[in-house]
């Protein structure tokens, strides 16, 4: 069975389990899975372990579930957790959930993540709108034969983080009095945190944020002509800017930021 057939089986299973047919999808990253749960009505839950061919996350803070429901009267599909390249799975598995969302009919995708702050003006707990990214992983999830069922051989990433959706997010943040930063996100392969020298290099290249996810999913989403919005939760200052880095700190800071992020995403969805 090829990958397209597997995705179709996963899609058919989810279509049977979810009564709503949303056009807005989301990915909630490390420690952010509960940011929208209190705001969601008519919740339908599906564990990834139930879905045929679905990979499962192995990292704390990534539950591996889909939640269907209504957010501010808009039907949405929420992905709790993600797969990271450092978990040792092939690229097709990393972007598999995005392919399934696209096959389900999702047209707009809201991505979230936990990130280290490279920009010296960023502090733990800040929310930052991603304006662009730097793929510092050394690879690309589209490498290999192109599947025309998903998109073209050479997709354009000039507007990888959709300008229209970014404008909506800025307006929503202003109305909610949320100090929404803006910046460029750099992805490294992980799982080790970056060295101070690497952070200096990334800052020189123009990066404001650093993390170990999001970029491959955004590439896959753009490949399939989905509009993408990205928001990072700054969980720590990057290497060399604080004494040490721990995943426990990431989870602690994201848990404190969940309510603000949830309210912001809710307002964004209302305005789309």
62 is annotated as an active-site residue: yes
Q: Which helix (H) or strand (E) holds 241?
A: none
DSSP state of 194: P
Mark whether 148 is an active-site residue. no
Per annotation, catalytic residue among 63, 247, 252, 263:
247
Tell me whether residue 26 is one of the annotated catalytic residues: no
236 is catalytic: yes
Active site residue: 114, 173, 187, 221, which one?
114
The answer to whether the beta carbons of residues 83 and 96 sit under 8 Å apart is yes
Q: Which of 10, 33, 35, 62 is catalytic?
A: 62
30 is catalytic: yes
Q: Which of 33, 119, 213, 232 is catalytic?
A: 213
Q: Which of 84, 186, 193, 239 is catalytic?
A: 84
Task: Enter the DSSP assignment of 219.
Answer: H
Residue 212 is a catalytic residue: yes
Active-site residue among 212, 220, 221, 226? 212
Q: Which of 249, 263, 215 is nearest to 95 (CA)?
A: 215
Beta pairing class for 74-80 and 108-117 = unpaired
| Residue tagged active-site, from 113, 232, 236, 258 | 236
**Catalytic member of 72, 86, 147, 252:** 86
Known catalytic residue at 247: yes
Which has the closest alpha carbon to 250: 191, 202, 207, 171? 191
Query: 10, 30, 137, 222: which is the annotated catalytic residue?
Result: 30
Catalytic residue among 87, 194, 217, 227: 87
| Closest of 207, 216, 71 to residue 128, by C-alpha | 207
Which are the contacts of 86, defined by CB distance < 8 A and separation ≥ 6?
189, 190, 191, 212
Residues identified as active-site = 30, 62, 84, 86-87, 114, 212-213, 236, 247
């Amino acid at each position: 069975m090829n990958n397209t057939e597997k995705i179709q089986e996963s899609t058919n299973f989810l279509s049977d389990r979810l009564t709503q047919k949303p056009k807005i999808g989301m990915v909630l990253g490390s420690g952010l899975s509960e940011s929208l749960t209190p705001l969601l009505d008519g919740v339908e839950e599906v564990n990834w372990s139930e879905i045929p061919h679905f990979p499962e996350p192995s990292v704390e803070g990534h539950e591996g579930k889909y939640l269907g429901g209504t957010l501010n009267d808009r039907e949405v599909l929420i992905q709790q957790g993600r797969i990271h390249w450092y978990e040792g799975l092939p690229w097709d598995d990393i972007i598999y959930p995005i392919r399934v969302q696209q096959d389900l009919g999702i047209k707009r995708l809201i991505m979230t993540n936990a990130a280290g702050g490279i920009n010296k003006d960023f502090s733990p707990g800040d929310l930052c709108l991603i304006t662009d990214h730097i793929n510092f992983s050394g690879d690309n999830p589209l490498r290999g034969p192109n599947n025309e069922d998903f998109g073209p051989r050479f997709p354009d990433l000039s507007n990888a983080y959709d300008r229209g959706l970014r404008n909506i997010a800025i307006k929503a943040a202003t109305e909610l009095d949320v100090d929404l930063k803006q910046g460029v996100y750099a992805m490294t392969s992980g799982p080790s945190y970056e060295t101070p020298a690497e952070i200096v290099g990334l800052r020189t290249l123009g990066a404001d944020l650093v993390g170990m996810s999001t970029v491959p999913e955004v590439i896959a989403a753009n490949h399939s002509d989905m509009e993408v919005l990205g928001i990072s939760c700054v969980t720590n200052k990057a290497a060399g800017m604080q004494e040490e880095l721990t995943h426990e700190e990431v989870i602690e800071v994201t848990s404190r930021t969940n309510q603000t992020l949830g309210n912001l995403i809710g307002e964004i969805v209302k305005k789309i």
